[in-house]
């Protein structure tokens, strides 16, 4: 029952390997982090997570090890395992990498021909989330939209790097979202990008995305100053 429940709640782009119970639990922990339920910098204890999920500590231990390679979790022999802390320098580094990689990946995707059905579904989900109050769904809808824009770039290694960056970016977002109140503005920016992408304007959507990331970067830096 537990495995079926988690399987239903994990989307293809969010899965690690899904080959074992530990992988399923890893994705459940990942969702808790990206929804803000497990806060940035907070400890992740095997016993507490095992009790919460109704499982033993062994698959939780395996799950935390798997997550340590995603950038969402840090481990130390002295401090144990915790959600990655978010500060200004970390946020700036993530945005800088996105600026270097994501616009070009998006440009290539549009030039190659974006997956129309998947993209339309991502747009619909984004619009629905915009009018809702569920922060987790907003985060997932945002990530799904961005992934549709870069996933067809033709370079699986680049897609993997951007998947990991998008996860860390989501952690940054949920950490400061209540301070920047940017969802409505971001939704408007997404609509413009979607229009360009659907029209095949590769350079235009890449340029809009660059501006989108730069604006997000400024908002985050301002929010960090108020933490």
State the CATH number of the domain containing residue 63: 1.10.10.10
Residues 12-45: tens digit of each pLDDT: 444 444 456 777 898 899 888 888 889 999 999 9
Mean pLDDT, rounded, for 78-92: 90
**Domain hosting residue 195, numbered range:** 88-224
Phi, psi angles (nearest 5°) of residue 81 = -105, 140
Q: Which of 53, 83, 113 is the last residue of a domain?
A: 83
CATH code assigned at 107: 1.20.120.530
Q: Which of 83, 108, 138 is the last residue of a domain?
A: 83
Q: What's the DSSP call for residue 132?
A: S
- Kindly state whether residues 123 and 107 are assigned to the same domain: yes
Are 155 and 25 spatial neighbours (Cβ–Cβ below 8 Å)? no
For residue 222, the surrounding DSSP H or E stretch is helix 202-224
Q: Give the Cα-Cα-Cα angle 205, 209, 212 (nearest 5 degrees).
A: 140
- Kindly state whether residues 46 and 130 are assigned to the same domain: no
Phi, psi angles (nearest 5°) of residue 76 = -145, 140
- Kindly state whether residues 101 and 130 are assigned to the same domain: yes
Residues 147-171: tens digit of each pLDDT: 999 999 999 999 999 999 998 998 8
**pLDDT above 70 for 4:** no
- Kindly state whether residues 77 and 117 are assigned to the same domain: no
Are 21 and 3 spatial neighbours (Cβ–Cβ below 8 Å)? yes
Structure tokens at 93: 């580094």
Residue percentage of the chain with pLDDT more than 90? 41
- Kindly state whether residues 36 and 137 are assigned to the same domain: no
- From the list 78, 94, 101, the residue with the least C-alpha distance to 209 is 101
Residues 86-121: tens digit of each pLDDT: 999 999 999 999 999 999 999 999 999 998 888 999
Q: Which residues of 4-18 are buried (b: 16+ CB within 10 A; e: fewer)?
A: eebeeebeeebebee
Structure tokens at 41: 């910098």
- Kindly state whether residues 79 and 92 are assigned to the same domain: no
How many domains does the chain fold into? 2
Residue reference for tokens 């809009």: 208
- Kindly state whether residues 203 and 106 are assigned to the same domain: yes
pTM: 0.80
Residues whose CB is less than 8 angstroms from the CB of residue 11 and which lie 6 or more positions away in sequence, other chains included: 140, 144
- Kindly state whether residues 95 and 200 are assigned to the same domain: yes
């Amino acid at each position: 029952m537990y495995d079926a429940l988690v399987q239903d709640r994990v989307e293809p782009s969010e899965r690690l390997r899904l080959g074992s119970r530990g992988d399923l639990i890893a994705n459940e922990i990942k969702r808790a982090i990206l929804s803000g339920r497990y806060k940035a910098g907070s400890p992740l204890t095997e016993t507490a997570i095992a009790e919460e999920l109704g499982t033993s500590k062994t698959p939780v231990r395996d799950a935390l090890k798997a997550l340590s390679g995603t950038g969402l979790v840090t481990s130390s022999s002295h401090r144990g395992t915790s959600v990655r802390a978010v500060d200004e320098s970390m946020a700036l580094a993530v945005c800088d990498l996105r600026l270097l990689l994501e616009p070009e990946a998006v440009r290539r995707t549009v030039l190659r021909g974006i997956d129309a059905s998947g993209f339309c579904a991502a747009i619909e989900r984004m619009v629905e989330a915009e009018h809702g109050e569920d922060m987790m769904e907003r985060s997932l809808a945002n990530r799904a939209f961005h992934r549709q824009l870069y996933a067809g770039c033709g370079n699986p290694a680049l897609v993997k790097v951007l998947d990991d960056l998008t996860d860390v970016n989501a952690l940054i977002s949920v950490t400061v979202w209540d301070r920047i109140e940017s969802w409505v503005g971001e939704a408007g920016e997404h609509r413009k990008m979607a229009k360009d992408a659907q029209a095949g304007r590769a350079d235009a959507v890449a340029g809009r995305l660059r501006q989108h990331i730069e604006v997000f970067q400024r908002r985050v830096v301002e929010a960090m100053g108020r933490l």
